[in-house]
Amino acid sequence: MALAALLMLAAGLGGGWWAASHAAVQKVAYTKGPLTPLKHVTPPPGPPAFQAEIQRLATAYGEPVGISVSEVAQGWTVAVDGDITFPQQSVSKLWVALAVMQAVDDGRLSLDQTVLMRPEDRSVFYQPLASRIRATRPLSITVADLLRHALIESDNSANDMLIREVGGPGVVTRAIAAKGLAGLAVGGTEREVQTRTAGLEWKPEYGQTWIFKQARAALPDDVRDQALANYLANPPDGATPVGIVTALAALKRGELLSRASTDFMLDLMGEARTGALRLRAAVAPGWTLAHKTGTGPDWRGASVGINDVGLLTAPDGRAFAVAVMVRQTRQGPSARHKLMQSVARATEAYWRDSASPANGQQQAQTETAAQAGF
């Protein structure tokens, strides 16, 4: 009895985010990675009222956006421009992490494996790890810590090192394809994608971000205009909102990785520090969010690739994969944040309505029709 009481006390003290997130995983049917790749199929439509609300939010924003929400356990999906390709920016770090964790499952990499980062391994823009690299003393870091920096802080140098360690962008692309996931791309390292988007070709000295920014500023405006237009027309890191939520739902169900690798990746996404005013700002009490943001460059009064994608888990463990993607916007940060928060709140409102006893029978009929393809 005393032991049971102590265990109950420990469980209570260890509550909060950890308990909620791990309990939520148990609510979803879990299968250790499939023997054959998942087949890409058009997901069944979601509840009409929820679809109408998502459409209303997209229309009200006044600029092209892509939104998709998928109910993880049942697979139905609501979307606006869900099959249109949008630039991901740092959202693509998810698929790099997925490829790395697959390599861990296969025994090709280990989380405690140590790698060395030298000055030539610096990237561009946000890269806190770069400040720890010395020319006379490389930075020694584990694969696990690289993943933490890439997914929690969105460190570009960490992401680029992971791509190198897993075998290059082609290996990441093949890992995505092998799992039958469609509508996802990586396109290269952050330093390659970002320099091409600016109208430059990568040079090692650009690892000092101020040198990169100087070189970018020295470019003629028409060169930058054309480079950005090329990027937006065919983003090498492009993905569709439906492709993203399909992948996130499969990850949550345990269909992509081993149990340990799935939990490790979702836990890191749950600790993400970026985007505090995006989806996370609308997470209601009792809910949890595991997510990844993307933020592209500003040019001529517009911002490119403003995204937040993730898994919203309700107090009862019911989970929803969510993607909100903005291709190019002249709206200020507050409008962008409001859009993303509104999608999260609409998802939470749908869950509350569908979970109420009065709506139980109607919800069951809607989901049956959706699964039947009506």
Q: What is the pLDDT of residues 12-39, one digit of tens each?
A: 333 333 333 333 333 444 444 443 445 5
> Sorting pLDDT into bands at 50, 70 and 90, what band is 6?
very low
Domain span holding position 134: 26-372
pLDDT at residue 284 greater than cutoff 60: yes
If pLDDT is split at 50, 70 and 90, which confidence band does 134 have?
Answer: confident
pLDDT (0 to 100) of residue 312: 98
Asked, for residue 17, whether it belongs to a domain, the answer is no
Distance CA 144, CA 162 (A): 10
Number of domains in the chain: 1
Those residues with Cβ within 8 angstroms of residue 318's Cβ, 6 or more apart along the chain or in another chain: 27, 71, 72, 73, 351, 355
pLDDT at position 29: 47
Angle between helices 169-178 and 156-166 (to 10 degrees): 70
| CATH code of the domain covering residue 81 | 3.40.710.10
pLDDT at 25: 35
Per residue in 63-78, pLDDT (tens digit) is 999 999 999 999 999 9
What is the pLDDT at residue 355? 81
258 within a domain of the structure (yes/no): yes
pLDDT digits (tens, 9 = 90+) for 161-174: 999 999 999 999 99
Q: Is residue 7 part of a domain?
A: no
pLDDT at 357: 60
Read off the pLDDT of each residue in 112-126 and give the average, rounded to a whole number. Answer: 95
The share of the chain scoring above pLDDT 70, in percent, equals 84
- 11 within domain boundaries: no
Residue 239 lies in a domain: yes
pLDDT for 360-369, tens place per residue? Answer: 444 444 444 3
- Give the CB-side neighbour count of residue 104, counting CA atoms within 13 A: 24
**In this predicted structure, what is the pLDDT of residue 36?**
44
**Domain contains 348:** yes
pLDDT tens figures, 306-319:
999 999 999 999 99
State yes or no: pLDDT of 125 exceeds 50.
yes
What distance in Å separates the CA atoms of residue 157 and residue 258, rounded to the nearest whole number?
Answer: 26
**Res 302: pLDDT:** 97
Q: Average pLDDT of the chain?
A: 88
Picking from 56-65, 76-85, 193-202, 347-356, which range would have the lowest pLDDT averaged per residue?
Answer: 347-356
Evaluated on CA atoms 44, 47, 48, 50, the torsion sign reads: negative
The tokens for 236 are 């090498």
Average pLDDT of the segment spanning 38-51: 81
Give the whole-angstrom CA distance, residue 209 versus residue 230.
Answer: 23
Q: How high is the pLDDT of residue 1?
A: 40
Identify the pLDDT of residue 180. 95
pTM of structure: 0.86
Maximum distance among all alpha carbons in the chain?
Answer: 76
Q: Is residue 341 part of a domain?
A: yes
354 is a domain residue: yes
